[in-house]
Amino acid sequence: MTFSSPLLSLPGAVAAGAPDAGVAAHYGDPLREQRSLARGDAVVDLSHRGVVTVSGPDRLSWLNTLSSQLLLNLAPGESTETLLLTVQGRIEYSPKVIDDGATTWLLTESWEAGPLAQWLERMKFMLRVEVADVTGEWATIGSVKPVESLGSHLTWVDAWPHVRTGGYSYSVVPEGSHPGAERPWYEYLVPRADLPATLHGLRLAGMMAAEALRIAAWRPRLGIETDERTIPHELDLLRTAVHLAKGCYKGQETVARVHNLGHPPRRLVFLQLDGSQHTLPARGSAVVVGGRTVGTLTSVGQHYEMGAVGLAVIKRSVDPDAALEVVDGEERYAAAQELIVATDAGQVVGRPTGLLKGGRA
């Protein structure tokens, strides 16, 4: 059944398309909504997203054996994110994680929840855990600043761009200067039936606003910046979603080998697009250098200060000073690239210290 948020019935609401179908793209004025969201004066309806719960006394130790992040000592109310990888180290699932002391809540993209719950169910064996897809009962609301009226709800707090304990940054930008520091992010879990009442009186922003701020923060979105080949290193996700010193998990060998001895084959870049055409290229458009396709535009938006911006995944070997073009059919958009993942990321064994930063031990 196709989902449709009750907030789409509000005056001025314009429905978003894929991958955010079911909620509002905007409520009549996308750039004003974006300014309000950036100031912390508005919230975003994320009720199309999925929610999976894992309960039982073995939940954290069990999830810890499956995932890239250290979850054993996750305290009630503490937020993190993790990756569930294939044997080849490719990203399969990417839940945001928060535990309330009795239940671990996994916040996912809309298309992840059902398959993730089924995958976890198959991995239970004889452990004391119960897995449930509770998307039908719970919804998510997003904001840039804490919202006082939502303070009683379980809240996931994004660690991006800070390097978590056991993590590692592949950026050449110091943590304090990272653009993600200007965009904190909070996601509140509310009973789905209470969504209209919970948001009554709060200013709303649509997904166009939320996505533009995410792009400007260099924050990869799983399922958008990823494809069937993506490994965490390509998106700088060792920063927040991988603990390099935890025990064994599926895909760990690839994570360790690329980090210590190799280089990721692709890298995430921020693009400042030529906005003179007054249009935006479509997601999935080719990124081209000298007539040769070197990557894909994964996200694009209109930022209220910077204009047309995007994220792209391109080949690691592309010259960081090269002039790029984004090609969408007959339209061509000049694009200046800004490094998110360094061209020499990885191969830390024997590397002089200083350029790329590890997390705390």
Mean pLDDT of 77-88: 97
Q: Are residues 52 and 142 in the same domain?
A: yes
Q: Are residues 26 and 145 in the same domain?
A: yes
Task: Determine the pLDDT at residue 71.
Answer: 97
- pTM of the predicted protein model: 0.95
Q: Are residues 138 and 224 in the same domain?
A: yes
Query: From CA 318, how far away is CA 344, in angstroms rounded?
Result: 11
**35-56 burial string, b = 16+ CB within 10 Å, else e?**
bbbbeebbbbbbbbbbbbbbbb
Q: Are residues 172 and 229 in the same domain?
A: yes
How far does Cα 293 stand from its chain's mean position? 25
- Residue 348 domain-assigned (yes or no): no
Task: Determine the pLDDT at residue 247.
Answer: 85
Bond preceding residue 191 cis, omega within 30 of 0: no
Task: Determine the pLDDT at residue 361.
Answer: 34
Q: Are residues 129 and 271 in the same domain?
A: no
Task: Determine the pLDDT at residue 276.
Answer: 84
- Residue 113 domain-assigned (yes or no): yes
Neighbours of 101 (CB within 10 A): 9
Q: Are residues 180 and 297 in the same domain?
A: no
Q: Are residues 32 and 70 in the same domain?
A: yes
- Residue 361 domain-assigned (yes or no): no
Mean pLDDT of 201-223: 97
Confidence at 135, pLDDT banded by 50, 70, 90: very high
Is the pLDDT at 173 greater than 80? The verdict is yes
pLDDT digits (tens, 9 = 90+) for 261-302: 999 999 999 999 998 878 999 999 999 999 999 999 999 999
SS (HEC) of 147-214: CHHHCCCCEEECCCCCCCCCCECCCCCCHHHCHHHHCCCEEEEEEHHHHHHHHCCCCEECHHHHHHHH
Is the pLDDT at 355 greater than 50? The verdict is no
- Residue 50 domain-assigned (yes or no): yes
- Select from 214, 232, 258 the last residue of a domain: 258
Which of 2, 32, 61 lies closest to 204 in space, CA to CA? 32
Task: Determine the pLDDT at residue 231.
Answer: 98
- Residue 344 domain-assigned (yes or no): no
- Residue 177 domain-assigned (yes or no): yes
Average pLDDT score, the chain: 95
Q: Are residues 334 and 197 in the same domain?
A: no
Q: Are residues 215 and 316 in the same domain?
A: no
Domain that holds residue 295: 266-339
Q: Are residues 48 and 133 in the same domain?
A: yes
- Select from 239, 258, 277 the last residue of a domain: 258
Confidence at 2, pLDDT banded by 50, 70, 90: confident
Check which CATH number belongs to the domain holding 14 and give it: 3.30.1360.120
Query: Phi/psi of residue 6, each to 5°?
Result: -60, -20
pLDDT digits (tens, 9 = 90+) for 89-134: 999 999 999 999 999 999 999 999 999 999 999 999 888 999 999 9
Check which CATH number belongs to the domain holding 287 and give it: 2.40.30.110
- Select from 232, 258, 284 the last residue of a domain: 258
Which residues lie below 8 Å from residue 225, measured CB to CB, with a gap of 6+?
Answer: 235, 268, 298, 299, 311, 313
Mean pLDDT of 315-327: 96
* Rounded percentage of the chain residues whose pLDDT exceeds 70: 96
What is the tally of structural domains in the chain? Answer: 2
Mean pLDDT of 309-324: 96
Task: Determine the pLDDT at residue 354.
Answer: 45
Task: Determine the pLDDT at residue 349.
Answer: 86
Is the pLDDT at 341 greater than 60? The verdict is yes
Which of 184, 135, 129 lies closest to 155 in space, CA to CA? 184
Is the pLDDT at 156 greater than 60? The verdict is yes
Q: Are residues 230 and 321 in the same domain?
A: no
Mean pLDDT of 321-327: 95
Mean pLDDT of 21-39: 98
How are beta strands 204-205 and 43-45 bridged, if at all? parallel
